[in-house]
């Protein structure tokens, strides 16, 4: 299998099963025009997040890592009119692009973007009356802090919540025990944490497609 084949299959799946409307297309275009890196989830992955949130019956979502708001739109659309999504973005410029994309999609009343380092923002959310607990947490930020983000996700969820972590295979690098890459080290630390955490029931899947070779972890909070 080659990258060209992976991309062709992703295109086939997305053309048949994923309907990208104007708001989603413009979100990607605006992100590209603003110079944001093209590291957003693929369309079929966005649809997967949406379906997981719908199946979960989620009313509240926490997203760690906004970028241009593409995944935020997919997740926010899964929520009821009185639902709430809080997305955390480190880069103020990225956050402004995301806010515009979210508003263009008609989701500004549901989804809000907060700026600053997530590890500074998460304690404030935990102390904020009515901010949680969250029914679903999607983690797609700097990988070196993945374990810390999962620890905070556990504090901000309830039994039955889902925690999803993206980019956990790192092109296969996750099995490299000699790696000094901070993203791989952080991802391995996250896997070790999840494996020994009795409050989580989890698995991870390898993926190939337009985003190359990677994967995601899905964990259910059980206690």
Residue 55, burial from CB neighbour count under 10 angstroms (0-12, 13-18, 19+): exposed
Q: How many domains does the chain have?
A: 1
Chain-centroid distance, C-alpha 15: 22
Average pLDDT over residues 148-156: 98
CATH of the domain at 64: 3.40.50.150
Look at residues 140, 151, 157, 150 and name the one whose alpha carbon lies nearest to residue 64: 140
Average pLDDT over residues 149-159: 98
pLDDT band for 146, please (50, 70, 90 cuts): very high
pTM surpassing 0.85? Answer: yes
CB 110 within 8 A of CB 103: no
Query: Quick one: DSSP state of residue 219?
Result: E
Tens of pLDDT, residues 54-104? 999 999 999 999 999 999 999 999 999 999 999 999 999 999 999 999 999
Domain span at residue 90?
Answer: 3-221
Chain-centroid distance, C-alpha 216: 10
| φ, ψ for residue 169, nearest 5 deg | -100, -30
The upper half-sphere exposure of residue 207, i.e. CA atoms within 13 Å in the direction of its Cβ, equals 21
């Amino acid at each position: 299998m080659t990258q060209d084949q992976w991309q062709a299959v992703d295109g086939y799946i997305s053309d048949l099963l994923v309907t990208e409307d104007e708001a989603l297309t413009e979100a990607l275009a605006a992100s590209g025009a603003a110079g944001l890196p093209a590291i957003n989830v693929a369309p079929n992955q966005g649809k997967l997040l949406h379906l997981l949130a719908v199946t979960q019956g989620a009313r509240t979502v926490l997203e760690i890592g906004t970028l241009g708001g593409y995944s935020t739109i997919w997740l926010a659309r899964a929520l009821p009119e009185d639902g709430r999504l809080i997305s955390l973005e480190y880069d103020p410029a990225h956050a402004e692009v995301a806010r515009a994309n979210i508003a263009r999609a008609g989701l500004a009343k549901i989804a809000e973007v907060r700026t600053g380092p997530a590890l500074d923002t998460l304690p404030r959310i935990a102390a904020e009356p009515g901010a949680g607990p969250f029914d679903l947490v999607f983690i797609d930020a700097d990988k070196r802090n993945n374990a810390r983000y999962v620890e905070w996700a556990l504090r901000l969820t309830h039994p039955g919540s889902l925690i999803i972590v993206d980019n956990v295979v790192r092109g296969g690098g996750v099995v490299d025990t000699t790696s000094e890459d901070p993203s791989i080290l952080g991802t391995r630390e996250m896997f070790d944490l999840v494996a020994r955490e009795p409050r989580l029931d989890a698995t991870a899947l390898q993926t190939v497609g337009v985003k190359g070779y990677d994967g995601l972890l899905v964990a259910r909070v059980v206690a």
